[in-house]
Amino acid sequence: MTEKIIFVAIIVAGLAGFIGALRAWFKSEKSKGLPAWRRLLFSLGFFAVAGQVVLFALSWTHIGRDRALFAAWARFVYPSFLVAVVLVLTGKGPARWWLLASSFLLFVLCFFIMLSP
């Protein structure tokens, strides 16, 4: 029972971090002063973390029950995390830290899902 509570808490924290990053990104004045290339890369990082959210959500569909689809799904977990971290680090302000935390938690969740039988 405790494992389920911890798992749900990590899910909620990861998704709340993504929503917090979205709010911080819209409210932040710091990102407006960045060069165009950094704003572009940070925006792409935002979409990379959104891709991690989608990957996490896909693990609950029929992909999680089919071994071949699950193996294909698992191949996307590591690259999506690495791309998201590199792109998010180009940003500035609190949105960067929210996105990094969310990306890390979503990666950990997907990693544990890969390890589960």
pLDDT tens for each residue of 6-31: 888 888 888 888 888 888 877 876 66
**What per-residue confidence (pLDDT) applies to 83?**
92
The tokens 């389920």 sit on which residue? 4
Average of per-residue pLDDT values in the chain: 84
| Total number of domains constituting the chain | 1
Q: Is the pLDDT of residue 40 over 70?
A: yes
pLDDT at 39 over 80: yes
Question: In this model, does residue 53 exceed pLDDT 80?
Answer: yes
Sign of CA dihedral 48, 54, 55, 57: positive
Q: Which of 82, 73, 85, 86 is nearest to 113 (CA)?
A: 73
Enclosing domain of residue 68: 2-115
Taking the model in full, what pTM does it have? 0.83
